Structure 1
Amino acid sequence: MRTSNNLIGLVNFITFLLSIPILGGGIWLSNRANSTDCMRFLQWPLIVIGISIMVVSLAGFAGACYGNKFLMWLYLFVMFFVIAALIGFIIFAYAVTDKGSGRFVMNRRYLDYYLGDYSGWLKDRVTDDGYWGQIRSCVRDSGVCRKMGRRLHGVPETPLMFNFRRLSPVESGCCKPPTECGYTYVNETMWIPGGDMIGPNPDCMLWNNDQRLLCYQCSSCKAGVLGILKQSWRKVSVINIAVLIILVIFYVIAYAAYRNVKRMDNDEPAGEARMTKSHPSHFEI
């Protein structure tokens, strides 16, 4: 019985440690929201799941240390639903980021982003007028476009150098006009109309060199936000899948150990009764 309790305690302690990367993923997304994608609704399910695993693991660990079968049972009961919630979150994250990616541009290292390449719940969420107003303000206030400037040995970046930069989806979609619009590069966030400026893309008319406007109203900016959301969610989901597999394995181990504790508890009274019957404590005279 002591061996089973020790095993349950060890499993709960490791489960507690596994809650740290899940919680850390939620906090990382929260920090990303402050600087790039400005989406503040995905990190909370992760944070809640991480804290839940942490608290439940501590309860199970205490139950194993003090031999409290109720806390052990509570750990198994609640952890089942936490694992189910984590599975649901992973499926949801992959489902809403299934479509859409940047397009390759000839003679460019960066990608261009188009809203038409995305679809589904996440696109509807981002493009909602009321919600997009908050995202646009957040992206602008984060200074992500202002921070794009680079100098090489004190010399400003040339158009050729800019063309071969790797830009984040937000930098590409919100801080410069779409490449097909034919604007001429002045610096990272200032472009002048070229000979082939007017194209079929409505964003060509929305670009503005005013640093408060740039392309924050462009569909390409919305696509850029969707693009960086996809990158962030997929990175976190990979970690969550690895943690989920380990959690399931440890859950099965803890369940088997708990069943062993119950079986031994049920066998112990019967064993004591047999010992009492075989070795009476007094003799009849």
Structure 2
Amino acid sequence: MDFRHLETFLAVVEQRTFAAAAEEINTVQSTVSANIKALEREMRAALFDRSARTAVLTPAGRALVPRAKALVDQLALTRKELSDIGDSIGGRLRVGTIGSTEPIELPKVLKQFGDANPHVILEVLSDSVGTAGLVERLRRSEIDIAFIANRLPDRPGPVHDWLVRTLLAEGDLVFIASPGHPLVERTDLQLADLASQIWIESPSGQTNRTITDEAFRAAGLSRTVNLEVAEPAKVPNYVAADIGIAAVPDFIAHDRTDVRVLRVEGVKLKWSIAIARHSERSSTLIEAFWNQFEERARNRQHGLEQ
């Protein structure tokens, strides 16, 4: 089987037209069509309804999608594992990270690792969807290590069985408002008092947004988000401008003099940061980097127990 045919098939499924798929995989539409026809001959089944304007899957095509994804993912793993065989402590390590990692001092630790391993190239990457996007990129072997929220995206089934993670830090999500906001002086605030306010939030899909949304749903409350800001560290800037209130990790609000933490009774929300990797991926470089943070996690736990 030619895996290029499967990759082309998945590109068409994702992009929904042959032309868009060709652009996605950097080829021409005739090549996409030829690859799909070759795959259909090999599968002995039509995979797309040619009478439709977009790429509509036939029943056979729908059945092939999960199998094709599994085969392509496994090929990516195999390619990376083979390239890692025999590696010394050198090479390129692709590190994915969520936007706010101040509690684990990531830049400082990366410098220490780089100083100790001068032949290593560290590539730090982010994802607009935060933890959910980084987990997916780990699954596809597009990154080697990720710093994510320890709370994983909600998905049906055991789709995260392959993911190994270690908690590095956690703390409180706090509600903040501008100094002149009418709720600041209240000492008897309930979650219901916040529901009707103008809200500034992370985009849907980011973990802290999910946690806050769940808290309101659990209390039987609804709220309207008027402004979405992708980078949590920048949220206080908009709160300070008196646009609305927000929920942010405590370390983001800690040193800000232009916002105030609201005292809300009966609500305890948590942020978390974990290091994560694919259970089937290993190399000398990955192990060395992982062990450095495992040691930090052990030291943190030891400090908590004392």
User: Which TM-score bucket, shorter chain as reference?
Assistant: under 0.3
Task: Say which one has the larger Rg.
Answer: 1
Q: From the two aligned structures, give the one with the greater strand fraction.
A: 2
Q: From the two aligned structures, give the one with the greater helix fraction.
A: 1
TM-score normalised by L of structure 1: 0.21
TM-score normalised by L of structure 2: 0.20
